[in-house]
């Protein structure tokens, strides 16, 4: 096979794979813009709507208004809760992981090695083992149905991101730190004023991955949040789909699902570069 | 559905009847037994730390270092170490979380005995999860590796393909699960619409999450998993890019092309990454929850009741904290065992020198 031909084959495979990847999402989009009759007629008639002939944009406000028991409140409560929880989780994760990562990378203290090994070992631990006792613990604090069980642990660092910060800080030239130390800068100030500003790439990666994980988290909010006003979008969407579980109004379901995905899609396209570099950094060296 | 399961569970509770004997868990004794060595350790450790303390400059660095790692250390104590031991203690108890902790009854190995002997639902859950792992780990890794190899070339269009293949992985959550339910819908779903006309007369695309779930439910979840290979694919891609070009040139001079080149250059050089990805994939496959909970809730019957779904049912629907803690510990042991098995089994094949290249 000539080089040109093999290139063509590879290109064809790439396109085929991409079509397969996008296809369900495209169908989701067309369903969300169809009338209920169009959406459910597809199967029985053996016809397929590649493009909605009359896009029903009003499906979107109609779907969101239907979430929860009070029109619009269900959606906006959930949106606000998700934003608050996600934002605070991101802040907590970046602050704690960078601080701990800096100490592991640059400061000499006895016990550093064993502690670091212990931390790496906990990465393998399945979350289900700690999930139940943590629920009991947080319940005894009276934290059930508040944001706290979802936010507070983020302020105590996560091994994976601590590891990433440590790898980055270990490569910072000593001269930079030395100069600050001669000027009488304390270790906390070095972290805050010198280290944090130069590790923007790692901060970006940590923030993005934490954002995605927190935004999509389902099990945590499912366990801890109980009243409708405190639900996150993931849990609210699940109640919504249970309510319309027979898919007689699939167009509304798809519209609501797409809206909850939208922030992650936007973030992905805005921060594509960080995504790519982050996976390379975290994955291969991990 | 859940009601039936709960009724079944409460009616023929499969654990031995020890509750009538009233053997309360000696929490105070347990707490003091745990507290004593911790206090002694802290005291002895503190003493030796202070005695061997470094000179002034280094001391301030040591204090700064210890206080900076303290968030993680405290978090580890509160959110990992303590919960693990509480979970272990609870796995030998029978306790409904509707009551207070002092109602917990010590039942010895009963929970584990029931898991292995009497609870058929658990057996279903274990079987479904093992099948899921068996299907999803090889297919997911193979797809990710092929995708990475296709993407491993210079072209201005590659970035677009990479984004398209990676994006769905970022969206994995409730929204995507709702989408898949609709795609697999037994009447109006995408596959039904698209594939049914192509099937020979009398054949139909299976209702994977309804009447044909016993056969097709778990494979369908493994299929869905192919849309979330993006992260794994990127790790493979980075691994492929890290293979030095001169190795390929040398192989070309020796006349090794195609499969031979893949077998003798790419595979050994990629083996640490392969190993890493396989372990991660095995661990993740045993923890599958969100998709199944959102799409089928474990049903119909127990067809898609994966391990963690059943664990959730026991802990948060039936409030059986002891029993579900036993399940959680067993999951930990299964994952640990599988990881060690893979480590031992692949020792010969993983070429760690590749990491230094």
Residue A45: the pLDDT is 45
**Gap between the Cα atoms of B157 and B33, Å rounded:** 64
Contact list, A269 vs chain B (CB under 8 Å)? 163
Percent of chain A with pLDDT over 90: 53
> Cβ B193–A42 below 8 Å, yes or no?
yes
CB B83 within 8 A of CB A134: yes
Domains and CATH numbers, chain A: 67-243 (1.10.3720.10)
Residue B321: the pLDDT is 93
> Cβ A43–B71 below 8 Å, yes or no?
no
pLDDT (tens digit per residue) in B50-71: 888 888 778 888 899 999 999 9
| A47-54: Cβ within 8 A, 24+ apart | A47/B193, A48/B193, A48/B194
Least confident of A246-260, B17-31, B147-161, B220-234: B17-31
pLDDT (tens digit per residue) in A161-185: 999 999 889 888 888 888 888 888 8
Nearest to A261 among B49, B72, B171 (CB): B171
Q: Is the pLDDT of residue A240 over 50?
A: yes
Going by pLDDT thresholds of 50, 70 and 90, the confidence category of residue B357 is low
Least confident of A45-54, A208-217, A260-269, B182-191: A45-54
Least confident of A118-122, B10-14, B140-144: B10-14
Q: Is the pLDDT of residue B16 over 80?
A: no
User: Whose CA is closest to B134, among B338, B349, B330, B347?
Assistant: B338
> What is the ipTM score, two decimals?
0.89
CB B97 within 8 A of CB B322: no
> Cβ A130–B79 below 8 Å, yes or no?
yes
Residue B194: the pLDDT is 82
The CA distance from B284 to the nearest CA of chain A, in Å, is 9
The CA distance from B12 to the nearest CA of chain A, in Å, is 24
Residue A286: the pLDDT is 35
Contact list, A244 vs chain B (CB under 8 Å)? none
pLDDT (tens digit per residue) in A48-66: 667 777 888 999 999 999 8
The CA distance from B213 to the nearest CA of chain A, in Å, is 17
**Gap between the Cα atoms of B154 and B243, Å rounded:** 15
pLDDT (tens digit per residue) in B209-253: 888 888 899 999 999 999 999 889 988 998 898 888 888 888 888
Residue pairs between chains A and B whose CB atoms are closer than 8 Å: 279
**Gap between the Cα atoms of B268 and A283, Å rounded:** 18
**HEC sequence for chain A:** CCHHHHHHHHHHHHHHHHHHHHHHHHHHHHHHCCCHHHHHHHHHHCCCCCCCCCCCCCHHHHHHHHCCCCCCHHHHHHHHHHHHHHHHHHHHHHHHHHHHHHHHHHCCCCCHHHHHHHHHHHCCCCHHHHHHHHHHHHHHCCCCCCCHHHHHHHHHCCHHHHHHHHHHHHCCCHHHHHHHHHCCCCHHHHHHHHHHHHCHHHHHHHHHHHHHHHHHCCHHHHHHCCCHHHCCHHHHHHHHHHHCCCCCCHHHHHHHHHHHHHHHHHHHHHCHHHHHHHHHHHHHHC
Picking from A1, A93, A121, A129 by the largest number of B CB atoms within 10 A of its own CB, the best residue to mutate is: A129
Write down the domain spans for chain B: 25-106, 116-356
The CA distance from A150 to the nearest CA of chain B, in Å, is 12
* Higher pLDDT, residue B13 or A171: A171
Provide the CATH number for the domain formed by B116-356 in this structure: 1.10.3720.10
């Amino acid at each position: 096979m000539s080089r040109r031909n093999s290139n063509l084959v590879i290109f064809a495979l790439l396109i085929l794979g991409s079509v397969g990847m996008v296809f369900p999402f495209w169908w989701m989009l067309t369903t969300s813009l169809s009338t209920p009759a169009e959406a459910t007629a597809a199967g029985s008639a053996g016809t397929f709507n590649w493009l909605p002939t009359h896009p029903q944009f009003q499906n979107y406000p109609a779907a969101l208004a239907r979430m929860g028991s009070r029109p619009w409140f269900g959606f906006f409560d959930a949106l606000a809760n998700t934003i608050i929880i996600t934002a605070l989780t991101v802040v907590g994760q970046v602050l704690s992981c960078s601080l701990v990562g800096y100490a592991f990378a640059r400061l000499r203290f006895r016990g550093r090695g064993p502690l670091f090994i212990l931390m790496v070992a906990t990465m393998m631990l399945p979350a289900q083992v700690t999930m139940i006792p943590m629920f009991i613990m947080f319940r005894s604090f009276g934290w059930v149905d508040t944001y706290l069980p979802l936010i507070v642990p983020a302020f105590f660092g996560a091994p994976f991101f601590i590891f990433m910060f440590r790898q980055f800080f270990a490569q910072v030239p000593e001269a930079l730190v030395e100069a600050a130390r001669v000027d009488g800068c304390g270790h906390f100030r070095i972290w805050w004023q010198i280290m944090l500003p130069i590790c923007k790439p790692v901060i970006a990666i940590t923030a993005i991955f934490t954002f995605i994980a927190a935004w999509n988290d389902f099990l945590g909010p499912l366990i801890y949040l109980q009243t409708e006003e405190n639900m996150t979008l993931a849990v609210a969407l699940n109640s919504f789909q249970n309510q319309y579980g027979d898919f007689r109004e699939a167009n509304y379901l798809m519209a609501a699902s797409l809206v909850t995905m939208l922030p992650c899609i936007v973030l992905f396209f805005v921060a594509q570069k960080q995504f790519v570099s982050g996976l390379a950094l975290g994955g291969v060296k991990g | 559905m859940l009601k039936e399961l709960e009724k079944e569970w409460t009616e023929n509770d499969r654990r031995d009847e020890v509750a009538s004997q009233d053997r309360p868990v000696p929490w105070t004794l347990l707490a003091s037994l745990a507290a004593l060595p911790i206090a002694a350790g802290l005291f002895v450790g503190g003493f030796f730390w202070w005695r061997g303390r470094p000179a002034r400059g280094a001391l301030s660095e040591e204090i700064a270092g210890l206080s900076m790692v303290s968030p993680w250390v405290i978090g580890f104590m509160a959110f990992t170490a303590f919960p693990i031991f509480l979970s272990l203690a609870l796995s030998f108890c029978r306790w409904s979380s509707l009551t207070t902790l002092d109602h917990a009854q010590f039942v010895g190995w009963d929970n584990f005995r029931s898991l292995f002997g009497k609870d058929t639902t658990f057996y279903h859950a274990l079987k479904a999860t093992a099948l899921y792992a068996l299907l999803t780990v090889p297919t997911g890794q193979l797809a990710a590796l092929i995708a990475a190899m296709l993407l491993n070339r210079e072209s201005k269009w590659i970035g677009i393909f990479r984004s398209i293949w990676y994006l769905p992985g970022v969206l994995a959550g409730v929204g995507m699960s709702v989408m898949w339910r609709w795609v697999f819908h037994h009447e109006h779903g995408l596959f039904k619409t698209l594939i049914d006309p192509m099937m020979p007369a009398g054949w139909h695309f299976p209702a994977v999450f309804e009447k044909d779930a016993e056969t097709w439910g778990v494979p369908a979840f493994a299929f869905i998993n192919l849309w979330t290979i993006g992260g794994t694919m990127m790790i493979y891609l980075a691994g492929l890019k890290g293979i030095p070009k001169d190795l390929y040139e040398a192989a070309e001079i020796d006349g090794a092309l195609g499969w031979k080149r893949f077998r003798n250059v790419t595979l050994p050089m990629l083996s640490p990454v392969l190993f890493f990805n396989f372990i991660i994939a095995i661990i993740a496959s045993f923890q599958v929850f969100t998709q199944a909970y959102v799409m089928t809730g474990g049903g119909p019957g127990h067809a898609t009741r994966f391990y963690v779904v059943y664990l959730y049912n026991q802990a948060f629907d039936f409030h059986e904290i002891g029993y579900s803690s036993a399940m959680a510990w067993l999951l930990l042991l299964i994952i640990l065992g599988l990881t060690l098995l893979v480590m031992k089994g692949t020792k010969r094949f993983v070429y760690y020198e590749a990491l230094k290249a």
